[in-house]
């Protein structure tokens, strides 16, 4: 019945249905048109995400998604010398893993709109405060992520999208265009505030709307189109098989 948009990513996707979240906002704006399916996996890098690919996007599905957002890199870009080193994936492999994801999804359904989203920039000071709030004086002084390191991944993400002719959101660049992005958009130096979620939503919805999602019809008649004396008429017109 309804088209689906699958949100595939790490914690920034998993948390996208919290209050003010970009995933929930998509579900709201496309209510009665599209189902938004949450496939976010906190802590995951692209290497681990590949193990789920066949499950989440089974080949030969009778109803492949109309669109997929792929939003990884924040964990791949964790520094080898920091607390997140076990999540680190070299940037060449990151790019290659993203390519495998796209190829897998497109091989099952060439018409699926795949959107690549880069990781956001990092507020190192925010990460430090967050680590202190968890570990106190035992918190490592070494940052786990930096904007510079994450930027290398963001660049490869956008480059890949261009190579493959896919739309992309360069969140890393976009957020840094706003003064005070560090606290305005990031809650712990990495995850998104409601304002940060609004940036993702606004960029993603531009792409979806260009692809015609907002022009999709309601799945059943608007209540104002229902003749209260003859309600079945509106339903028979719009969905003859009722």
Give contact residues for a copy of itself (rule: CB under 8 A): 1, 14-15, 17-21, 23-25, 27-28, 31-32, 35, 37-38, 40-44, 47-48, 51-52, 54-55, 75, 86-87, 194, 220, 222-224, 226, 228, 231-232, 235, 239, 241-242
Closer CB to a copy of itself, 18 or 99, in the complex = 18
Closer CB to a copy of itself, 210 or 239, in the complex = 239
Query: At its nearest, how many Å lie between a copy of itself and the CB of residue 239?
Result: 7
Closer CB to a copy of itself, 87 or 170, in the complex = 87
Query: At its nearest, how many Å lie between a copy of itself and the CB of residue 173?
Result: 26
Q: What DSSP line would sit under the chain, residue for residue?
A: ---EEEEEESHHHHTTTSTT-HHHHHHHHTTTT-EEEEEE-TT--HHHHGGGHHHHS-TT-SS--SEEEEE--TTTT--TTSTTGGG---HHHHHHHHHHHHHHHHHH-TT-EEEEEPPPP--HHHHHHHHHHHHGGGS-SS-S--HHHHHHHHHHHHHHHHHHT--EE-HHHHHHTSTTHHHHTBSSSSSBPHHHHHHHHHHHHHHHHHTTGGGSPPSS--GGG--TTSTHHHHHHH-TT-
Q: Which of 11, 61, 140, 173 is catalytic?
A: 11
Query: At its nearest, how many Å lie between a copy of itself and the CB of residue 228?
Result: 4
Closer CB to a copy of itself, 183 or 223, in the complex = 223
Query: At its nearest, how many Å lie between a copy of itself and the CB of residue 75?
Result: 8
CA angle 67, 194, 166 (to 5 degrees): 25
Residue 119, token pair as written in the block: 């990781």
Name the one residue in this structure whose structure tokens are 């005070």: 180
Closer CB to a copy of itself, 132 or 223, in the complex = 223
Is 11 part of the annotated catalytic residue set? yes
How far is the C-alpha of 235 from the C-alpha of 206, rounded, in Å?
31
Catalytic residue numbers? 11
């Amino acid at each position: 019945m309804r088209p689906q948009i699958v949100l595939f990513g790490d914690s920034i996707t998993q948390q996208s249905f919290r209050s003010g979240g970009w995933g929930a906002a998509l579900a709201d704006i496309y209510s009665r048109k599209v189902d938004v399916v949450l496939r976010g996996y906190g802590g995951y890098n692209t290497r681990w995400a590949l193990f789920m690919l066949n499950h989440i996007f089974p080949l030969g599905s009778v109803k492949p998604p109309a669109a997929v957002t792929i939003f990884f890199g924040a964990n791949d870009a964790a520094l080898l010398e920091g607390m997140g080193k076990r999540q680190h994936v070299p940037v060449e492999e990151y790019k290659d893993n993203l390519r495998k994801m796209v190829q897998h999804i497109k091989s099952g359904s060439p018409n699926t709109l795949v959107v690549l989203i880069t990781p956001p920039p990092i507020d190192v000071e925010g990460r430090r405060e967050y680590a202190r709030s968890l570990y106190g004086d035992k918190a490592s002084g070494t940052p786990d992520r930096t904007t510079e390191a994450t930027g290398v991944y963001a660049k490869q993400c956008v480059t890949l999208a261009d190579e493959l002719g896919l739309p992309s959101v360069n969140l890393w660049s976009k957020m840094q265009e706003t003064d005070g992005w560090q606290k305005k958009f990031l809650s712990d130096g990495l995850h998104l505030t409601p304002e940060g979620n609004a940036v993702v939503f606004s960029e993603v919805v531009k792409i979806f709307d260009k692809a015609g999602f907002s022009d999709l019809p309601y799945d059943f008649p608007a209540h104002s189109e229902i003749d209260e004396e003859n309600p079945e008429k509106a339903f028979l017109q719009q969905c003859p098989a009722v």
